[in-house]
Amino acid sequence: MKPILCLDFDGVCHSYTSGWKGATIIPDPPVDGMWEFLAEAFKEFQICIFSSRSNFPRGKEAMFDWFNSYAEDEEQRSLVAKLEFPIEKPAALITIDDRAYCFNGIWPDVKELRAFQPWNKEQEIKST
């Protein structure tokens, strides 16, 4: 059995440029390179998509439908069919999340944590 790679949905798969609009409203396109990454990652991992949407009624279905709506060919549709959408955080080998801190055994400075910005917000700050 392959190890689990857990991907956060908003800000990792879904570009999330519009922000939160509701658990079933997902207006933005994929983050560039997502399909290529999924194709490569499936060679080594079982992939789970987990999100705050996962526990909302129809949240999992909305994410699955979103992936299918952006799948442009049979290869991409086959990737979507292999994705898993758990309702609880899986016991993953590794998780990719745009709003996470990688703990290395040393507690971070709380003020630095408070100033954290996800990658898509840092770009806005840098460009202004």
3-state secondary structure of 49: strand
CA quadruple 67, 71, 77, 83: dihedral positive or negative?
Answer: negative
Please write the tens of the pLDDT for every residue from 62-109.
999 999 999 999 999 999 999 999 999 999 999 999 999 888 999 999
As a whole number of angstroms, the distance between CA 55 and CA 94 comes to 21
As a whole number of angstroms, the distance between CA 36 and CA 52 comes to 24
pLDDT value at position 123?
54
State which residues form the domain around 53: 4-127
Structural domains of the chain, count: 1
pTM of the entire predicted model: 0.88
How far is Cα of residue 118 from the mean position of the Cα atoms in its chain? 12
